């Protein structure tokens, strides 16, 4: 009889179960609360929202936490679209959502929240939110002019009761656990904070009084769900602004309430004042907030969870092994790769797609009220993706270009059953992304190449590097479909021995560097060179820099840029000279920027001539990425994905 093979996970602690009250989680990886704005106007779940959360359950997370469920909708709605737990018709959607999560073996959890003074409150479309009266711990006027009224006792009692009613409702709907949000600047934290809670009654003053609302809410929730139903509390370990509470204060609060909860979720930051503490940028170390969980865990007996740009299996295993935390949470990492937990459990970590922390997922919600991801084109279309048809007749698909758009097109086409050959002119895959290897804070972008190559190999894509696709080559191959993803070519406003493109930034000479172009690429190049110790001057023709960065990414990038580099706007580069880069301002006056080396980062233009030569060489021809119109990484992957679907 053949001996059974023993399966040993590479990350045994990360893959081990943990018990919370009457619930056992199958591993230590939890999908953190994320809101999905595709709800009805009155706060009911849609099938698209349900599919959004189900995707992470299917991907192997131990628990999936539904975000932004408001307990007292009239006063507590913090976003334009939030789940209304007080709507008379909300139960059916909640039930279907819990079932969708649980049927994949994940525990269904939901975040109970109230925005307090940051609530948008119910307003008709087009009305200015700041005109609404909001309620918080004390009277104040917010920077945007919004008037905040001190929450009266009657309203406090009503809100506490709403938490208990919401808890009973979600338990009835089939949820396995719930999270009470007491962090990130929302209502409970507003009461905890000495900076915002200036009350003189039993809900203000000393630390115990400021914690009274939290304790009353937790007591109401426990009474509603019973002792075997896990209650998770999310806190910010520090508010990170003057007058806010400290880590020491958070520890005392944790000790005060630990008997009322089963899991303590430790985050950081307070609303917009400390956005990048709550959502660490690419300029910050992964796991930079784990230290808070580690310190608080020393003082409490309940399990503690850590969060903050986590996603590397090795790091998450160390967190648990060292005793820094018992559980790890991921949000953005499970947007870009919902199957990350499953891949960890199955020892497939080489297939994990890493979050590049570009903030597109958060910025797009501000811009269009939708949720997307730069690297995962399924995000935002999870429901319809379940019905993508398989081809009735597999075809031979030739992909010209091995950049991200071409690789995504190859992956999608191969996943649908087509025979796919991908050709890349250079000897390496990656296109323009190859240059990110030189920039430490963009390393996750560079790692995309190896991950997508591995996924193509597993999907059966034949990869031919060092192979240029010409019209004659296409005719020789005779594919049924051709996907053209040959990229763009850099625009060079100046030339000379000291000039390199942003793609060849490693070859720039000297200690004084001039960067031409204040777009996203130029700003990142300038910051990188400054981090290496070079003296960097960035010149830009327009009045602003990083205008093409998204609304969440731009502040972090611009902050780094101005802290490290000299930035001059309103200048046009003319030519290089022995002493540096000669520029001209809007008045026609010339100025020499002293530089030993020059980096051109003014963008690219489509390879129109090559594209035109390939038109009509196959029965189906699709164009992807910069060879059509120069845009960004997200657009290339998005178009590549749909080009693969369209064949």
Q: For 114-148, what is each residue's pLDDT tens digit?
A: 999 988 765 444 545 555 689 999 999 988 888 89
What confidence score (pLDDT) does residue 243 get? 87
Neighbours of 628 (CB within 10 A): 21
Q: 310 CB contacts (<8 Å, ≥6 apart)?
A: 286, 287, 290, 316, 319, 328, 329, 330, 333
pLDDT bucket at 589, cuts 50 / 70 / 90: very high
- Does 15 score more than 70 pLDDT? yes
Q: 323 CB contacts (<8 Å, ≥6 apart)?
A: 294, 297
Write out the DSSP string of 11-31: STTTTS-EEETTEEESSSEEE
Q: CB of 280 within 8 A of CB of 308?
A: yes
Q: CA 296, CA 183: separation in Å to the nearest integer? A: 15
Which tens digit of pLDDT belongs to each residue from 407-466? 999 999 999 999 999 999 999 999 989 888 889 999 999 999 999 999 999 999 999 999
What confidence score (pLDDT) does residue 1 get? 54
- Does 563 score more than 60 pLDDT? yes
504: which DSSP letter? G
Q: Which helix (H) or strand (E) holds 218?
A: helix 212-225
CA 414 to chain centre: 27
What confidence score (pLDDT) does residue 368 get? 83
Tally of residues, the chain: 647
Higher pLDDT, 613 or 391: 613
In order of their start, the domains of the chain are 18-383 (3.20.20.70), 388-490+606-646 (3.40.50.720), 499-602 (3.50.50.60)
Q: What is the mean pLDDT of residues 362-387?
A: 89
Q: What percent of the chain has pLDDT over 70?
A: 97
Q: C-alpha angle with apex 156: 153 to 161, nearest 5 degrees? A: 130
- Does 7 score more than 70 pLDDT? yes
- What are φ and ψ of residue 581, in 5° steps? -115, 120
What confidence score (pLDDT) does residue 127 get? 44
Q: CB of 576 within 8 A of CB of 539?
A: no
- Does 216 score more than 50 pLDDT? yes
Q: 256 CB contacts (<8 Å, ≥6 apart)?
A: 207, 208, 211, 215
Helices assigned H by DSSP within 435-552: 443-459, 471-477, 520-531
Tell me whether residue 64 is exposed, middle or buried, using C-beta atoms within 10 angstroms of its C-beta: 0 to 12, 13 to 18, 19 or more: buried
Write the CA distances from 212 to 260, 299, 358, integer angstroms.
13, 20, 39
The answer to whether the predicted template modeling score (pTM) of the entire model surpasses 0.85 is yes
Tell me whether residue 314 is exposed, middle or buried, using C-beta atoms within 10 angstroms of its C-beta: 0 to 12, 13 to 18, 19 or more: exposed
Q: CA 508, CA 398: separation in Å to the nearest integer? A: 36
Higher pLDDT, 126 or 241: 241
- HSE on the CB side for 530, CA within 13 Å? 20
Q: CA 345, CA 403: separation in Å to the nearest integer? A: 30
What's the mean pLDDT when you consider all of the chain? 93
pLDDT bucket at 631, cuts 50 / 70 / 90: confident
Q: CA 441, CA 288: separation in Å to the nearest integer? A: 14
3-state secondary structure of 81: coil
Comparing C-alpha atoms, which of 36, 35, 42, 17 is closest to residue 27?
17
Write the CA distances from 523 to 278, 498, 514, 549, integer angstroms.
24, 19, 11, 10
What confidence score (pLDDT) does residue 124 get? 43
Neighbours of 563 (CB within 10 A): 9
Q: Which residues of 154-186 are buried (b: 16+ CB within 10 A; e: fewer)?
A: eebeebbbbbbbbbbbbbebebbbbbbbbbbbb
Q: CA 589, CA 233: separation in Å to the nearest integer? A: 61
Q: CA 70, CA 43: separation in Å to the nearest integer? A: 9
- Does 619 score more than 70 pLDDT? yes
Q: CB of 179 within 8 A of CB of 33?
A: yes
What confidence score (pLDDT) does residue 3 get? 64
What confidence score (pLDDT) does residue 75 get? 92
Which tens digit of pLDDT belongs to each residue from 53-72? 999 999 999 999 999 999 99
- Does 90 score more than 60 pLDDT? yes
- Residue for token pair 């093409």: 548
3-state secondary structure of 355: coil
Q: C-alpha angle with apex 314: 311 to 317, nearest 5 degrees? A: 90
Which tens digit of pLDDT belongs to each residue from 465-491? 999 999 999 999 999 999 999 988 899
What confidence score (pLDDT) does residue 365 get? 82
Q: CB of 197 within 8 A of CB of 144?
A: no
């Amino acid at each position: 009889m053949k001996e059974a093979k023993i399966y040993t996970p590479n990350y045994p602690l990360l893959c081990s179960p943990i018990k919370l009250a009457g619930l056992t989680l199958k591993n230590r990886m939890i999908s953190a609360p994320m809101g999905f704005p595709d709800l009805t106007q009155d706060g009911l779940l849609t099938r698209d929202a349900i599919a959004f959360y189900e995707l992470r359950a299917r991907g192997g997370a131990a628990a999936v936490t539904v975000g932004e469920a408001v307990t007292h909708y009239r006063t507590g709605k913090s976003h334009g679209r939030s789940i209304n737990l007080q709507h008379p018709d909300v139960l059916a959607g909640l039930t279907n959502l819990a079932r969708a999560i649980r049927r994949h073996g994940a525990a269904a959890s939901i975040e109970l929240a109230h925005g307090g003074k940051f609530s948008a409150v119910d307003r008709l479309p087009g009305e200015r939110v700041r005109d609404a009266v909001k309620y918080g711990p004390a009277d104040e006027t917010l920077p945007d002019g919004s008037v905040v009224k001190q929450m009266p006792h009657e309203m406090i009692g009503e809100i506490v009761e709403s938490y208990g009613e919401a808890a009973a409702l979600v338990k009835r709907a089939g949820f396995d656990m719930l999270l009470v949000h007491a962090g990130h600047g929302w209502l409970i934290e507003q009461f905890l904070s000495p900076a915002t809670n200036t009350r003189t009654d039993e809900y203000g003053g000393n630390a115990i009084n400021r914690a009274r609302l939290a304790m009353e809410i937790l007591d109401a929730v426990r009474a509603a769900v019973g002792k075997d139903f896990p209650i998770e509390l999310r806190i910010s370990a520090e508010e990170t602004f003057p007058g806010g509470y400290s880590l020491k204060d958070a520890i005392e609060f944790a000790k005060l309430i630990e008997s009322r909860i089963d899991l303590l979720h430790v985050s950081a930051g307070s609303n917009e004042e400390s956005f990048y503490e709550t959502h660490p940028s690419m300029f910050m170390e992964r796991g930079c907030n784990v230290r808070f969980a580690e310190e608080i865990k020393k003082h409490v007996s309940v399990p503690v969870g850590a969060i903050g740009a986590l996603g590397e299996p090795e790091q998450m295993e160390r967190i648990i092994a060292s005793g820094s935390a018992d559980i790890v949470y991921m949000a953005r990492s499970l947007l870009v790769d919902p199957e990350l937990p499953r891949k960890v459990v199955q020892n497939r970590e080489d297939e994990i797609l890493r979050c590049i922390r570009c903030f597109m997922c958060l910025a797009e919600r501000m811009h269009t009220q939708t949720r997307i991801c730069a690297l995962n084109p399924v995000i935002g279309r999870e429901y319809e993706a379940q019905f993508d048809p398989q081809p009735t007749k597999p075809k031979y698909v030739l992909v010209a270009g091995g950049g991200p758009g071409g690789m995504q097109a190859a992956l999608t086409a191969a996943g649908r059953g087509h025979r796919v050959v991908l050709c890349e002119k250079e000897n390496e895959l990656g296109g323009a992304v190859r240059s990110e290897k030189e920039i430490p804070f963009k390393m996750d972008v560079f790692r995309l190449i190896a991950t997508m190559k591995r996924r193509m190999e597993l999907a059966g894509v034949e990869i031919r590097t060092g192979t240029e696709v010409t019209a004659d080559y296409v005719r020789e191959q005779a594919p049924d479909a051709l996907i053209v993803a040959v990229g763009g070519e850099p625009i060079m406003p100046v030339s000379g021995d000291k000039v390199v493109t942003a793609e060849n930034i490693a070859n720039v000479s000297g200690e004084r560097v001039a960067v031409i172009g204040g777009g996203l690429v130029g700003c990142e190049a300038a910051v990188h060179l400054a981090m290496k110790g070079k003296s960097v001057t960035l010149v830009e023709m327009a009045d602003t820099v990083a205008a093409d960065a998204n609304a969440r990414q731009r502040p972090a990038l611009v902050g780094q840029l101005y802290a490290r580099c000299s930035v001059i706007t309103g200048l046009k580069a003319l030519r290089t000279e022995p002493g540096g880069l000669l520029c001209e301002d809007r008045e026609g006056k010339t100025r020499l920027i002293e530089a030993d080396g020059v980096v051109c980062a003014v963008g690219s233009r489509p390879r129109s001539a090559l594209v035109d030569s390939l038109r009509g060489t196959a029965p189906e021809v699709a164009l992807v990425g910069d060879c059509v119109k120069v845009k960004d990484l997200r657009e290339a992957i998005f178009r590549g994905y749909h080009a693969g679907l369209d064949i």
